[in-house]
Amino acid sequence: MKIGVLSDTHNHSSNTKTALETLRERGASRLIHCGDITTPDIIYLFAGWEVTFVWGNIDQDQEELGIAARAIGAPLPQTSLEVDAGGKLIGVTHGNDHNALFRLMICSKYTYICHGHTHERRDEYRSAYAVRVINPGALGGSQRQARSVCLLDTDADTVEFIQFPDMF
């Protein structure tokens, strides 16, 4: 299963649209958004996708974001949640709560942990916990690296970072 992983869109609709088009072209069948959505307008861009959202630290208007998620048929965002991807469990959180991120890592339940918050790409296997930790980078907000998302292929156990060096 190919899963597009996005984070930290920070209300940047143009970057989000481009990323979604690219993930569709690359064969993503579902999406995970690791938080910092910011406004309902971003959520509406995900209409037609099977998508899961988590809350980020700047997702202040959770009521309006929740209404938007329900309007497109997505589950209500949560602080942390799990996604079943063809029998492999993925733990998802934003990453601003380091203790929550660490608890997901050490629980030995997940094959993958996806998070955002740092705006820095990460693909790291934590052998002590037998879990792969993934951060797709950011599509908005402060720019520490080129804008990016990633494509997680759970069948092949690969992560491909898709960078957008021309995005601001």
| Residue entry with tokens 């209300």 | 11
Geometric angle at alpha carbon 127, from 107 and 103, rounded to 5°: 25
pLDDT at 144: 83
Q: How many CB atoms lie within 10 A of CB 141?
A: 20
Give the domain extent around 143. Answer: 2-164
- CATH classification at residue 35: 3.60.21.10
Phi/psi for 133 (5° steps) reads: -105, 125
pTM value is 0.97
How does pLDDT run along the chain (168 residues), one tens digit per residue?
999 999 999 999 999 999 999 999 999 999 999 999 999 999 999 999 999 999 999 999 999 999 999 999 999 999 999 999 989 999 999 999 999 999 999 999 999 999 999 999 999 999 999 999 999 999 999 988 999 999 999 999 999 999 999 998
- Neighbouring residues of 17: CB distance < 8 A, sequence distance ≥ 6: 45
* CA-closest candidate to residue 152, choices 29, 69, 17: 29
pLDDT at 86: 82
Query: What are the residue ranges of helices labelled H in the chain?
Result: 13-25, 40-44, 62-71, 98-106
93 strand-pairing partners: 80
Task: Look at the chain and report how many structural domains it folds into.
Answer: 1
